[in-house]
Structure 1
Amino acid sequence: MRYWYTYRTVVAVLIALALSGSIFWLYTQQVACDSRSGSCLVNISVHPEDRFVSASDPDKKVVIVGIDNQSVKALGQYPLPRSDYASALQTLENDGAAVVGFDISFPDARDGQGDAQFARALRDSTVPVVLSYPAGGLDTGNGKVIQQSESGIDEIPLKAFRCMDGNPDPKTPCQQPIKNVILASTDLQLDSDGVVRRVPLFVQPACFALGTCATPVIDTFAFAAYRAANTDPTTGATLQESGGRAAFGSIWSTQVDGTGATLINFSGPPGNYAKNGQYVRFSDVVSGAVPADIIKGSVVLIGAYNLSGVNDSQLVTTSAGSNGTLPMAGVELHANVVQMFDYAVPAPGSPSKLLTREPAWAIALVIL
């Protein structure tokens, strides 16, 4: 007993250090496993911080056009004819949209007349149009993710939708891109617990490895839409990665992990845009029933929205809670990322929406 009273402080300190060290190591494993690092040894991803995410009103400059069950019923078929996409693009352009993004894959020819109408609408568009360029799978690289191409499958949009060359062969690189069409990645990587918390900012497209294009990196879908709304896509600032940060010229920079991904700051739970009036149905856009003042000056994103039989939803940090752990539609997820970039620059009374992971030493100090 005498020795216990003599050394109890030392023993307590040693126990505290051992426990703190163990907890900090488990934290590093959570980070490593989420980023698919080779140092991942124990998958203990729990992320209690998700429960502290607060909700706010969505960005009034972002509008979701949802292809939902009611739209399919009104339009009478699915997949939708591409003439409907042409009509929607022309309507949104006439209503003053700043950018139109299609979170929809167009990798193959479908109906000759409809394809021709959509290709013509893309060529004639006076506003930037972002087309989805997804992949069947992703590999991680140094500061980027890489679209898998070993199978030879490339989901790049149909050549007529992005290129004005006379040669329709998709294996021949495009020599004359359509001026206002931008290809961007809609790829996402789930953390080890199946939740989307980050978005990759730098993506190597499958066409680069296949030798069918000379573009080594494309932007993520949401950043491409944000950039097109704020700069000239052909001459404006681009996103550059250095020292664990991605910088958009001198405007803002954000922390990225080893795969070039940054944390997403969600404005609220799934359905937040619809709840706050920033959602319209695709069928209403095609029919011209949407008031122009909703569209004017907005970044408009089109995609499947809780559409039966279409798996384009993910669990996100705001899915858990009183809303019953609902997944978020992919197009709404991208809308949240656009909003995050829209408010990346701090203003009086409004801090930057960009999230920063706490430094390792601060985490260790808090645990201790």
Structure 2
Amino acid sequence: MSKSLALAVALLRAGQGRLLPGLLLILAAVLLHNIEATPLHSMQSSQFDRYQRLLPRTRANEPVIIVGIDSQSLVALGQWPWPRDRVGELLARIQAGGPLAVGLDFVFAERDQHAPDLIARRLPAASAELLHKLPDPDRALANVIAQAPTALAVVGLSRELPGARNPIHPLPTLHIDPDADTALPRFASALSSRPELQLAAAGEGFINASPDGLISHSERGILRRVPTLAHIQDQPYLSLPLEMFRLALGGGQVVVEGGASGMQAIRIGDYRLPTQKNGELLLHFGKASANYYLSAADVLAGVHPPEIFASRFVIVGFNGIGLQDRVISPLGDSLPGADIHAQVIESLLEQTALRRPHWMPLLEMTALLAGGLLLISAVPALRPRYAVFTFAGVGAVLVGTGYLAFVTGRWLFDGPSLTLLLSPVFMSLLGNTLIVADGRRRLAEQQLQASREDAARVAGELDAARRIQMGLLPDPGKIFAGETRFAIAAILEPARAVGGDYYDCFMLDASHLCIAIGDVSGKGLPASLFMAIAKTLSGTLTRRHDDLAAAVCDIERELSRENPGFLFVTAFIAILDVDRGTLDYVCAGHDAPLIKRQGTVMRIETADIAGPPLCALGDYPYPSGRTQLQAGDLLCLFTDGVSEACHGEQLFGSERLIACLADLPLAPVDTLCRQIRDEVRRFEAGEAPADDLTLLLLSWPGPKLSER
């Protein structure tokens, strides 16, 4: 591993994998606090636009009509600026309908170039004298303006410019907290209309953005916020649409709600709009519609009756190519400035606007920190897939909260930016989780490899133990090859690699055969070791004693001498006189053997002489019994691996074994032994053996003819 990679891993693992995510969370909080100075601000604005495109404001009514000086009007009436008397004629036709208020979305800062005295300056003296007798068009326009509530446009200036003229109609009454007042935009000067027009107008409203320019109000040509209130040379003025609204209410008072956190809302009469702390309105845009526009040429031509303007707000503005400053709305519509004024009036009438109060950034900061701390506490304890689901859930909650807040109350909550800021936190946590998971995987692989090696070693040892154990057992086919006085065969199949069953068969002398079968309690290695000891002692002590019962008692004492595992052995040991067929036997807690005689199967009666298993009581005086075999008898010794073989809850049992013996055909004993074993395995039907299976079959054909 390179040093740089090792350093990265150490950084991810520092503080149990939580140090780096904690630092990234702090960095994310700093970026969120200063989001307007980061590229995230564009993402935030785009998300707020997406909210509006999802649910634009419904423009059901038509309270505002825009009389546009459009291309049609320029063709019909000539280029702009028109003579003031023609503008006055247009206003007169509008006023005839009784509008609530009229707003002029342009400034008449200079005298009308068609004024008689200005024309006279370019004519001979004789002709000029006649022109002086004609009326002044500016005064004529002023007379028309005075006939109805009319608001003139004002352009605020950030510094004094030549030709600047201040407005003369500040708000007569304004109720505002001094702390909120300090946050409002302020203009050093303004560009207003001619004095005679100012005197005739009922009010004046500014039409431009705040002094800091369009940077804070539009992004990539998209207009999102419009000012509502500003100071021009320390005098308060409303924006043009709000001034029109105030005039329509008869000059009602304006109340500003707010305090130390800045402006929160503006109220004109009984109508209220939420604002930003600097008085800007987050406008909820509706889709553009041609229904709001009338051509100035059509109005002058009388195409529209005056009644169309009754009880409506009328804005006269530019709507022709080359005469307007068009803006793009968050909905993607290209709108003239007059349409923005119309939407402000509609919003005030509906008392609805987008809301992002001063505490919203604090709420977003809280959500960011809560989400980050949740990830830092939960992700390290989860698996990678669940960690991804957790982050996806946190992101879905944040993004979904933003959409839900907008749909329910037009709140602007920036969920996507929070999710993006939490991404580095999650990635660092996920990286640590993956490193931990990889470490665990490597450790598991090492442990698995070690366990495989151990298992292979144990398997090898068990295989060796099995070979040794099976090597301790005699092979009757080899030992008694060529023997005609009897036939013997045996099978031992451990339930595990090694087992606790054993059998034995050997000649004590020329005419006495010793056979033994035993079953050690337990299974596995301990039982196999005890089995080897029991078999060895049985063979040794049986050879040393002439009395079988005494030999068994001696075996029991030797086995009990060193038995820390408290194991015991069931055993059946017998000595057959192979010439006469007498069978002496001792039973130590073992199943009684079976004899098949002339097709009938019977048990050797051991109830009277049977004792407990070896090592069960200690120093038990085992008696012996005797039975006489008949010619053709088949003796069957077995362990409980045969009688207790199971299939589900059923046991093979001694009755099935008796039936199996009864059905055996005439065949060599080794074949019969395998047939019994196969019948037991068929009964088990593939289930794992519950115990070791041991069988020993002895066939006695009877005494030789010379002995009869």
C-alpha distance after superposition, 1:62-105 (max 9, x if no partner): 11111111111111222122222211211111112111111011
TM-score by length of 2: 0.39
Cα gap change, 1:242/1:262 in structure 2, threshold over 3 Å: closer, same or farther? same
C-alpha distance after superposition, 1:166-187 (max 9, x if no partner): xxxxxxxxxxxx4x52111101
Cα distance in 1 between the residues matched to 2:71 and 2:208: 24
Match of residue 232, structure 1, among 250, 271, 292? 250
- Unaligned 5+ segments in structure 1 are 34-40, 164-177, 209-214, 320-325, 345-352
Q: 1:119 is aligned with what amino acid?
A: A
Is 1:142 equivalent to 2:182 in the alignment?
yes
Is 1:161 equivalent to 2:197 in the alignment?
yes
C-alpha distance after superposition, 1:231-280 (max 9, x if no partner): 211xx221325323233167354443343212111112xxx131xx1211
Counterpart in the other structure of 1:202? 229
Is 1:216 equivalent to 2:235 in the alignment?
yes
Greater helix share, 1 or 2?
2
Is 1:315 equivalent to 2:342 in the alignment?
no
Is 1:291 equivalent to 2:305 in the alignment?
yes
Cα gap change, 1:99/1:361 in structure 2, threshold over 3 Å: closer, same or farther? same
Cα distance in 2 between the residues matched to 1:334 and 1:13: 52
Cα distance in 2 between the residues matched to 1:250 and 1:52: 30
Is 1:45 equivalent to 2:41 in the alignment?
yes
- For residues 26-37 of structure 1, what are the structure 2 equivalents within 5 Å? 26-30=31-35, 33=36
Cα distance in 2 between the residues matched to 1:121 and 1:328: 29
Counterpart in the other structure of 1:211? none
- Unaligned 5+ segments in structure 2 are 1-8, 116-135, 161-180, 372-708
Counterpart in the other structure of 2:70? 68
Counterpart in the other structure of 1:261? 280
C-alpha distance after superposition, 1:274-323 (max 9, x if no partner): 1xx12111111222211334321111111111x2222422233222xxxx
Match of residue 17, structure 2, among 3, 7, 11? 11
Is 1:361 equivalent to 2:362 in the alignment?
yes
Counterpart in the other structure of 1:342? 349
My pick for the range that moved more, 251-260 or 334-343, is: 251-260
Q: 1:317 is aligned with what amino acid?
A: P
Cα distance in 2 between the residues matched to 1:138 and 1:297: 39
Q: 1:80 is aligned with what amino acid?
A: W
Q: 2:361 is aligned with what amino acid?
A: A
Q: 1:332 is aligned with what amino acid?
A: D
Counterpart in the other structure of 2:142? 119
Cα gap change, 1:135/1:247 in structure 2, threshold over 3 Å: closer, same or farther? closer
Cα distance in 2 between the residues matched to 1:13 and 1:336: 50
How many residues of Structure 1 are paired with residues of Structure 2 in the alignment? 303
Cα gap change, 1:106/1:58 in structure 2, threshold over 3 Å: closer, same or farther? farther
- Aligned partners of 2:276 and 2:356 also within 8 Å: no
- Aligned partners of 1:64 and 1:279 also within 8 Å: yes
SS at match of 1:217: strand
Cα distance in 2 between the residues matched to 1:93 and 1:87: 10
Cα distance in 2 between the residues matched to 1:217 and 1:120: 26
TM-score by length of 1: 0.73
Cα distance in 1 between the residues matched to 2:73 and 2:60: 23
- Aligned partners of 1:138 and 1:145 also within 8 Å: no
Counterpart in the other structure of 2:270? 251
Cα distance in 1 between the residues matched to 2:311 and 2:31: 46
Cα gap change, 1:252/1:25 in structure 2, threshold over 3 Å: closer, same or farther? farther
Cα gap change, 1:366/1:293 in structure 2, threshold over 3 Å: closer, same or farther? farther
My pick for the range that moved more, 46-55 or 240-249, is: 240-249
Is 1:273 equivalent to 2:289 in the alignment?
yes
Higher relative contact order (CA 8 A, sep 6+): 1
- Aligned partners of 1:143 and 1:202 also within 8 Å: no
Cα gap change, 1:249/1:279 in structure 2, threshold over 3 Å: closer, same or farther? closer
Cα gap change, 1:72/1:227 in structure 2, threshold over 3 Å: closer, same or farther? same
- Aligned partners of 1:58 and 1:273 also within 8 Å: no
Shift of residue 365 of structure 1? 4.0
Cα gap change, 1:183/1:143 in structure 2, threshold over 3 Å: closer, same or farther? same
Match of residue 329, structure 1, among 336, 343, 348? 336
- Aligned partners of 1:64 and 1:273 also within 8 Å: no
- Aligned partners of 1:75 and 1:283 also within 8 Å: yes
Q: 2:156 is aligned with what amino acid?
A: A
Aligned-residue RMSD, C-alpha: 3.0
Cα distance in 2 between the residues matched to 1:75 and 1:279: 18
SS at match of 1:133: strand
C-alpha distance after superposition, 1:196-245 (max 9, x if no partner): 2112222222xx3xxxxxx711111111112222x211xx2213253232
Percent of counterpart pairs with the same letter? Answer: 22
Cα gap change, 1:362/1:239 in structure 2, threshold over 3 Å: closer, same or farther? same
